[in-house]
A and B are shown apart, each in its own frame.
Chain A
């Protein structure tokens, strides 16, 4: 196993070639790691580069020169979590193009009629867990790995969850449609 202690000591002292050598050597480690976690996509390039930048900028904070591995791992795991949390942001922005609903002009806006908490409470704990993990940023295949199931089974659970939420929503809509005197 390669020992980075000397290179780290020199890099912290401002030796640029030593820092460059460290970055060069850990680059394939990071690439291999990110490919194993999120697949071989262009996202991997960004994650590798961002982690290298973290190491580049933060190596001065490394207290123990023998602990480069832990230091790099921490940076890589931070980057991975940032990636998950931002994964669906662009798509969510695209949702806005769905408004306003032309063919629904006479309907109430969903915000007025959909009690989200009520709908979510209709779900089994496992279904709610799956939907939360999806919204956190994990893909269904990753969730399947996390909960020890198959992607197809996870998608089926989500479908059932939608059905249950739809039923809960219909009940809520019906309740809303009742005369006020019966609701009290």
Chain B
């Protein structure tokens, strides 16, 4: 088998640096030069053929969903386009059987959308159950463009407006509400998104509750990892041993009642931002402000603060957390956690990684995100299963 084809097949995963390497190799390898140029020619021909004879992506969507959606779901322009394009679609199907695969894929897309809709919106107002959704790995992602930030800001504002609107409606129609309770089962790690966008990853056998309207004040029993959306209104977590107050940050809270303790204690582990810890005695002189990487233990006797190994302290959350962690350490940890071999190019050894990953996503997807964040390329040896991050 000719190795030059490997280069062409791997184009899916090539970074700009990889492409520059191929270009360099082409300058002294006539066979590679010929193969790549021929493939570029073939590729352009096929793309041109697709451009000319494939229906548009929108038309394929209309065709695939024609039996699933009501006539009222289409605009007049879409209906007209569908009628006019019947012959084009018939001819295309005959000339390119691959279109049938695309139509099937679109039908699968529709099924996936329905599932996402039902699962995300099946809960009551005030709670969005995101079994398949984020805790966002957002700290691993590059910053978006100005336009995107503006749109996101608009959505953030919308979240606040929604909260206010719902609060007014509920106050006027139902002045006294029962406590709202979210529970996770034994052995279950459950993620929920609150109305302000704050995400909570609840450890097994935990309970999150609040009285009446949700007002960024919750009571926790068990353990939960909070990714709190910043807001002028503070976010409070009430536990038997005290109150954790925050403006916007990521941290874990664990309430513990060991058999050898006469009273419960609350352990707060801070990943980023700042939180204030208060005892239930109401004495502000006992308050402690926690800084990232530290852990506070609240008991009726006081608050103890110490440094924390985030991964160990938050292991119950099944999250893998890096904060300015050298890639050498990231490699060692992921290798150990998933029992795989990971190789790192020398240029990445000292790179620092910040990100929060759900363990259940698996090593392949996590490395994929890490590669994207570092501008590196992930390669997987099909025979040995070795993962390589190259830059």
Contact = CB atoms under 8 A, between A and B. Distances in A.
A45 B142 CA distance: 11
Chain B contact surface mostly: helix
Contacts of A77: 61, 65, 106, 109-110, 113
A98 B119 CA distance: 48
Contacts of A121: none
Interface residues of B, number: 93
A103 to B, nearest CB: 5
Point out which of B19, B47, B70, B115 has the most chain A C-beta atoms below 10 A from its C-beta: B47
A81 B57 CA distance: 5
B118 A155 contact: no
Interface in A27-50: 27-33, 35-37, 39-42, 45-46, 49
A163 B2 contact: yes
Contacts of A163: 1-2, 5
B321 interface: no
A99 B23 CA distance: 9
Given A39-B365, A42-B372, A101-B26, A136 B132 contact: no
B247 to A, nearest CB: 21
B106 A81 contact: yes
Contacts of A45: 141, 144, 148
B104 interface: yes
A13 to B, nearest CB: 15
A42 B144 CA distance: 8
Given A92-B43, A98-B26, A136 B98 contact: yes
A69 B142 CA distance: 31
Interface string B114-148: 11111111100100101011100100011010001
A114 interface: yes
B98 A104 contact: no
Interface in A48-101: 49, 52-53, 61, 63-64, 67, 69-74, 76-78, 80-82, 84-85, 91-92, 94-95, 97-99, 101
A63 B122 CA distance: 24
Interface stretch (B29-37, B200-208, B232-240, B260-268): B29-37
Nearest to A154: B9
Given A45-B144, A80-B109, A140-B12, A17 B102 contact: no
Given A41-B372, A110-B37, A70 B69 contact: yes
Contacts of B43: 92, 135
A17 B133 contact: no
A166 B151 contact: no
Contact of A35 (B35, B102, B118, B132): B132
Contact of B125 (A2, A99, A140): A2
B158 A23 contact: yes
Contact of B120 (A28, A64, A103, A111): A28
Point out which of B9, B33, B35, B369 has the most chain A C-beta atoms below 10 A from its C-beta: B9
B182 interface: no
Contact of B102 (A37, A52, A128, A133): A133
B26 to A, nearest CB: 6
A138 to B, nearest CB: 8
Given A77-B65, A101-B37, A159-B5, A136 B121 contact: no
Contacts of B11: 91
Contacts of A101: 26, 33-34, 37
Interface of B: 1-2, 5-6, 8-9, 11-12, 14, 16, 19, 23, 26-30, 33-47, 50, 54, 57-58, 60-61, 65, 69-70, 72-73, 75, 96-98, 101-102, 104-106, 109-110, 112-122, 125, 128, 130, 132-134, 137, 141-142, 144, 148, 151-152, 154-155, 157-159, 161-162, 165, 193, 361, 365, 368-369, 372, 382
Given A77-B65, A162-B39, 14 more contacts: A20-B155, A24-B155, A28-B134, A29-B121, A41-B372, A45-B141, A45-B148, A82-B57, A92-B44, A104-B33, A116-B41, A120-B45, A131-B46, A158-B9
8 contacts: A2-B121, A17-B158, A20-B155, A20-B158, A81-B60, A103-B30, A138-B105, A159-B5
A-B interface, 9 closest residue pairs, ranked by CB to CB distance from nearest = A81-B57, A20-B158, A33-B116, A116-B45, A32-B133, A32-B116, A132-B98, A135-B46, A129-B98
